[in-house]
Amino acid sequence: MVILGEKLGQYRLDAKIGEGGMGVVYRARDEELNRDVAVKVLAAGMLEQLGKDHLLREAQTASALSHPNICTIYQVGRVDDGFYFVMELVEGQPLSELARASQLTTEAVTRYGVQIADALAHAHDRQIVHRDLKGANVVITKEGRVKVLDFGLARRLDSETVDAVTRMQASVERDRAIVGTLAYMAPEVLRGEGGGYPADIWALGILLYEAATGHLPFAGNTAYELCASILQQAPTSLPSSVPPSLTAAIMRCLTKDVKDRFQRASEVRSTLATIQSAAIVSEPRRDEPSGPRTLVLRGIQHLDVKNGDVLLLVGTTKGAFLLRSGRDRKQWQVAGPYFHGHAIYSLSYDGRNGRHRLWASTGSVLWGTYLRSSDDFGKTWTNPLEANIKFPPESGVSLKNIWKIALGPPGAQDTLYCGVEPAALFESHDTGETWSLVRGLFDHPHRPRWMPGQGGLCLHTILPHPTQPGRMHIAISAAGVYQTDDAGQSWQARNRGIRVTFMPERFPEFGQCVHKIVRHPDRPDRLFLQNHWGLYRSDDGAESWTDIAHSVPSDFGFAMAVHPHDPDCVYIVPMESDEFRCSPEGRLRVYRTRNAGGSWEALTRGLPQQSAYETVLRDGMVTDSLDPAGIYFGTRSGKLYASRDAGQSWKEIVNGLPQIVCVTSAVVAELPGSPSVPTPPLKRKRASPRKVPRRKAPSKRTTKFRVAKRKSPRARRQKRSRR
Amino acid sequence: MKVHFCIPRPLRPLTGGQSRVDVETPGRTLQDAFEVLFALYPGIHDRILDEKNEFRQHVNVFIGNTESRTLAGLATPLAPGTEISIIPAISGG
């Protein structure tokens, strides 16, 4: 008889911490090694039941198991006529209790499952079967580590006992120890066929089910009913909150036919690891259960975003990168690549109505393009099972790419738009949950005659009017600018004055390869446009366009951005030509106008001025909303440049990225749990229309250039490049 | 009849990690077999088929060792025990 305070060998029994069918477990102090251990003293009769030699053999085998998720057996000793086992002291909560107490996330279920399966695989590889894997034998420590207890010490029920118990009509309350084991027993064991590795895998499936739902998959008021349920019935269906991938894995563990079950614990482990690390983890959003989420790992050190931080969202052809900095914008933290290997042509930040939602268009050459969102700055993203942006089947069109994700106007806080390839517009009025094709544009009579640009027929720019509901401007390469005044039901081409160099008619109604349009919210009827050859401004809401390309080395380019606080100030990055598509003369220059295109000045401080043949694409430049304004642009060679002083000086803040195709900025405000940052008052420049030189729009029959009219286009381009 | 799908690694998260999925199809064609697969694992559908219900350009579906487009596409008849492999084509850049 064992008494508290008594010593068993070098172990002083300090407290009783558990009791079960096999015996009593004590917390003990190893007075020689000066550590706490657990001592399990076998119950009287266990030795007789299990057999001394067999017990010793199993304990010796189990003690050879050395695995972080297996409770280690240190020693076997004798006490009176019995045995005791000295084991690693594991303090924590049994998994079954944890699952019943709180709803475990799918990530937690797979995380625990991976560890249990890993422990099983370790043991199975050494020809050790647990035989009594159950919720009580799986403990989760406070550090979140799984410890599987009692390997090799399982109370194995002999066939007679099993047979007797399965016929028990008495309540399951009568012998919890046996019934607690029964609930995890595989059908083949109940049929007396013996258990082995597949029986352990069955038990693992029961554990996963229990962890995912908080209850067991088979039920019965008596042991007999419970066994009948296990033998004959399918497990109770898992709720829809459990993602299909995890459901499938659990169900495969619980396949009654052994040969259809997972054959190896290592296979279960890799399946659960796949679900956990690379694929679907079903997590309901905070406010509504919808959309499984993907936990994108791959060793990403996620951003620690705080109120007032400036974010840069950078899309490349091989993934997305997120950057953050404080308001001083001096040091940048970089995270990524997210969506490793995917082309990210558009990123957006929706900070309206208390949201802090990132949007990304993720394109796979193989599997299609999907719209995904994150509410935790990239830690988790939605992973839609169905494509959320897709053309109606009867349209005969299939999605190639999502080029732009745009927020709706100020009066429509839940509205978003997507511009796609082949050129079309999709809209959502429920914060992106559902999307529909804007038929007014898709069915436009011009559509059959729209031709693709070199990059495809893409709707790349979306500008909702800030003050006139229902009005919006879009730009398509190569169809031109279109305007709606009735929220997309009807559209009109708005390209008067924009020339085309690749069609016989120089100023057609539509067909222009417009690369970018921008406008400032304080002057919504003024727009600036970067064309495939040509820089333009409109002062009448896109009714007509005026050529403003002078004192620039080239009027070919892609990127354009307007100063956040000065409607007259616009930035561009000229490219030498449509053939070369790199910075002229190997000099990377940003050009700025501060008088709405009256004149342009080169901004080069900090930018390379030799051997810098860089390309900045149409969505590769952006400003932030701070004062002084931050300006950012990314190149096809994977460099990201930033200016903290509205372009006066530049600094390369990241290099070595894949080809950059889009850059978006955001300033984080009203982030819960983060201290607020006071916003200094802006020094806004008052727009001065008198500074804007008015130029007559060229007639369609004449083409005016800034240099000698009679020179060839090539000579004109060469002269421009020499500036 | 029973047919077998071989699932490429990028799509295995959608099938519970399974690299091989056996389905019992009531029909006789490749389309019938895929419909059973899609019912079991809905996420597979849009990954391999576009809005025109055609296999995505860079996705090959082999029936045995023959690419389905060289046969009758989705209308290709199947024999019991046929192995259907979804294999991404070598592409990208």
Query: Do B16 and A399 lie within an 8 Å CB cutoff?
Result: no
Q: Which of A109-123, A154-168, A615-629 has the lowest mean pLDDT?
A: A154-168
Q: How many CB atoms lie within 10 A of CB A686?
A: 8
Interchain contact B4–A (C-beta under 8 A):
no
Q: Collect all residues of chain B within an 8 Å Cβ-Cβ radius of residue A395.
A: 51
Query: Do B92 and A367 lie within an 8 Å CB cutoff?
Result: no
Interchain contact B49–A (C-beta under 8 A):
no
Report the phi/psi class of residue A71: left, alpha or beta, with left for phi > 0 and alpha for psi in -120 to 50. Answer: beta
Name which of A279, A280, A368 is nearest B46 (Cβ-Cβ): A368
- State the smallest CA–CA distance between residue A441 and chain B in angstroms: 19
In the predicted model, is pLDDT for residue A209 greater than 70?
yes
Name which of A251, A279, A387 is nearest B13 (Cβ-Cβ): A279
pLDDT tens for A85-103 read 888 898 888 998 888 887 7
Q: What is the DSSP letter of A699?
A: P
b/e per residue A145-178 (b: at least 16 CB within 10 A): ebbbbbbbbbbbbeeeebeebbebeeebeebeeb
Q: What is the DSSP letter of B41?
A: -
Residues A446 and A440: beta-carbon distance below 8 Å? no
Sign of CA dihedral A711, A717, A721, A723: positive
Interchain contact B19–A (C-beta under 8 A):
no
Rounded to whole angstroms, what are the CA distances from A423 to A401, A437, A482, A619, B50?
9, 11, 12, 16, 17
- State the smallest CA–CA distance between residue A433 and chain B in angstroms: 17
- State the smallest CA–CA distance between residue B25 and chain A in angstroms: 18
In terms of Cβ atoms closer than 10 Å to its own Cβ (0-12, 13-18, 19+), residue B10 is middle
Provide the residue-wise pLDDT of chain B in tens; the chain has 93 residues: 899 999 998 888 888 788 899 998 888 999 999 998 888 888 899 999 999 988 999 999 999 999 999 999 899 999 999 999 999 887 666
- CA gap A146, A195 in Å, rounded: 23
Q: How many CB atoms lie within 10 A of CB A83?
A: 21
- State the smallest CA–CA distance between residue B87 and chain A in angstroms: 10
Interchain contact A271–B (C-beta under 8 A):
yes
Pair of tokens at residue A581: 């598509």
Q: Collect all residues of chain A within an 8 Å Cβ-Cβ radius of residue B10.
A: 366-367
Report which residue type is found at A591: Y
pLDDT tens for A488-528 read 999 999 999 999 988 888 999 999 999 999 999 999 999 99
End-to-end CA distance of chain A: 100
Query: Do A366 and B56 lie within an 8 Å CB cutoff?
Result: yes
- State the smallest CA–CA distance between residue A116 and chain B in angstroms: 17
| Sheet of strand A401-407, all strands in order from the earlier edge strand to the far edge | A401-407, A416-421, A424-428, A436-437
Pair of tokens at residue A176: 């919890």
Q: Collect all residues of chain A within an 8 Å Cβ-Cβ radius of residue B43.
A: 244, 280, 385-386
Rounded to 5 degrees, φ, ψ at A367 are: -105, 5
Model confidence at A192, pLDDT cuts 50, 70, 90, reads: confident
In the predicted model, is pLDDT for residue A563 greater than 60?
yes
- CA gap A327, A629 in Å, rounded: 11
Query: Do B16 and A248 lie within an 8 Å CB cutoff?
Result: yes
With a CB cutoff of 8 Å and minimum separation 6, the contacts of A54 are none
Interchain contact B18–A (C-beta under 8 A):
yes
A175 a catalytic residue = no
Model confidence at A600, pLDDT cuts 50, 70, 90, reads: very high
Q: For residue A197, give the nearest of A146, A134, A126, A271 by alpha carbon.
A: A126
Delineate the domains of chain A, giving CATH numbers in brackets.
7-88 (3.30.200.20), 93-281 (1.10.510.10), 293-716 (2.130.10.10)
Q: For residue A620, give the nearest of A558, A563, A536, A552 by alpha carbon.
A: A558
Please give the full DSSP string across A243-271, using - where no structure is assigned.
-HHHHHHHHHHT-SSGGGS-S-HHHHHHH
pTM of the model: 0.63
pLDDT tens for A617-670 read 999 999 999 999 999 999 999 999 999 999 999 999 999 999 999 999 999 987
Mean pLDDT over A359-388 rounds to 90
Query: Average model confidence (pLDDT) for chain A?
Result: 84
pLDDT for residue A196: 83
Compare all CA atoms of chain B with the CA of A273 and give the residue at the minimum distance: B17
Query: Do B91 and A366 lie within an 8 Å CB cutoff?
Result: yes
Rounded to 5 degrees, φ, ψ at A59 are: -65, -40
- CA gap A111, A246 in Å, rounded: 12
- CA gap A529, A555 in Å, rounded: 11
pLDDT for residue A254: 93
Compare all CA atoms of chain A with the CA of B43 and give the residue at the minimum distance: A385
- Taking every pair of Cα atoms in chain B, the longest distance, rounded to a whole number of angstroms, is 40
* Cross-strand partners of B29: B77
Interchain contact A274–B (C-beta under 8 A):
yes
- CA gap A327, A423 in Å, rounded: 37
Select the more confidently predicted residue: A97 or A179.
A97
Select the more confidently predicted residue: A296 or A273.
A273
Query: Do B12 and A274 lie within an 8 Å CB cutoff?
Result: yes
Query: Do B16 and A245 lie within an 8 Å CB cutoff?
Result: yes
3-state DSSP assignment of residue A153: coil
Rounded to whole angstroms, what are the CA distances from B23 to A709, B26, B66, B82?
72, 10, 20, 11
Q: Collect all residues of chain A within an 8 Å Cβ-Cβ radius of residue B45.
A: 386
- State the smallest CA–CA distance between residue A385 and chain B in angstroms: 4
Select the more confidently predicted residue: A176 or A239.
A239
Delineate the domains of chain B, giving CATH numbers in brackets.
2-88 (3.10.20.30)
pLDDT for residue A287: 34
Q: Collect all residues of chain B within an 8 Å Cβ-Cβ radius of residue A365.
A: 58, 91-92
Strand A590-593 to strand A514-520: parallel, antiparallel, or no bridges (unpaired)? unpaired
- CA gap A41, A50 in Å, rounded: 14
- CA gap A133, A201 in Å, rounded: 9
Query: Do B53 and A393 lie within an 8 Å CB cutoff?
Result: yes
Interchain contact B54–A (C-beta under 8 A):
yes
Compare all CA atoms of chain B with the CA of A272 and give the residue at the minimum distance: B17
Report which residue type is found at A534: G
Q: Collect all residues of chain A within an 8 Å Cβ-Cβ radius of residue B50.
A: 368, 398-399
Report which residue type is found at A141: T
pLDDT for residue A292: 41
Interchain contact A390–B (C-beta under 8 A):
yes
Please give the full DSSP string across A390-456, using - where no structure is assigned.
---GGG-----EEEEEEE--TT-TT-EEEEEETTEEEEESSTTSS-EE-HHHHT-TTGGG---BTTB
Contacts 24+ apart (CB under 8 A), A445-451: A446/A479, A446/A493, A446/A510, A447/A423, A449/A510, A449/A511, A450/A423, A450/A476, A450/A478, A450/A479, A450/A510, A450/A511, A451/A478, A451/A479, A451/A511
Q: Collect all residues of chain A within an 8 Å Cβ-Cβ radius of residue B47.
A: 367-368
If you count residue pairs, one on A and one on B, with CB atoms under 8 Å apart, how many are there?
88
- CA gap A426, A16 in Å, rounded: 66
* Cross-strand partners of A514: A531
Query: Do B56 and A368 lie within an 8 Å CB cutoff?
Result: yes
- CA gap B63, A179 in Å, rounded: 49
pLDDT for residue A570: 98
Interchain contact A366–B (C-beta under 8 A):
yes
Q: Collect all residues of chain B within an 8 Å Cβ-Cβ radius of residue A201.
A: none
Q: Which of A25-34, A285-294, A344-353 has the lowest mean pLDDT?
A: A285-294
Q: Collect all residues of chain B within an 8 Å Cβ-Cβ radius of residue A204.
A: none
pLDDT for residue A97: 87
* Cross-strand partners of A373: A359
Residues A431 and A355: beta-carbon distance below 8 Å? yes
In terms of Cβ atoms closer than 10 Å to its own Cβ (0-12, 13-18, 19+), residue A466 is middle
In the predicted model, is pLDDT for residue A290 greater than 70?
no
Residues A81 and A47: beta-carbon distance below 8 Å? yes
Q: Collect all residues of chain B within an 8 Å Cβ-Cβ radius of residue A366.
A: 10, 56, 58-59, 88-89, 91-92
- CA gap A29, A39 in Å, rounded: 9
Which ipTM was obtained for this model? 0.85
**CA A274 from chain center: how many Å?**
15
- State the smallest CA–CA distance between residue A7 and chain B in angstroms: 50
In the predicted model, is pLDDT for residue A696 greater than 70?
no
In the predicted model, is pLDDT for residue A437 greater than 50?
yes
Interchain contact B7–A (C-beta under 8 A):
no
Could you give the count of Cα atoms lying within 13 Å of A409 in the half-sphere of its Cβ? 16
Strand B2-6 to strand B83-88: parallel, antiparallel, or no bridges (unpaired)? parallel
Query: Do A367 and B14 lie within an 8 Å CB cutoff?
Result: no
Q: Which of A132, A350, A568, A619 is catalytic?
A: A132
- CA gap A695, A547 in Å, rounded: 8
Name which of A272, A280, A396 is nearest B52 (Cβ-Cβ): A396
Pair of tokens at residue A456: 């495809």
In the predicted model, is pLDDT for residue A459 greater than 80?
yes
- CA gap A220, A244 in Å, rounded: 27
pLDDT for residue A1: 62
Strand A570-575 to strand A11-19: parallel, antiparallel, or no bridges (unpaired)? unpaired
- State the smallest CA–CA distance between residue A188 and chain B in angstroms: 23
* Cross-strand partners of A84: A41, A77
Residues A664 and A623: beta-carbon distance below 8 Å? no
Name which of B10, B18, B54 is nearest A367 (Cβ-Cβ): B10
Mean pLDDT over A334-341 rounds to 91
Q: What is the DSSP letter of A695?
A: -
Sign of CA dihedral A329, A335, A336, A339: negative
With a CB cutoff of 8 Å and minimum separation 6, the contacts of B44 are B11, B14, B15, B37, B38
Cis, peptide link before residue A422, omega less than 30° from 0? yes
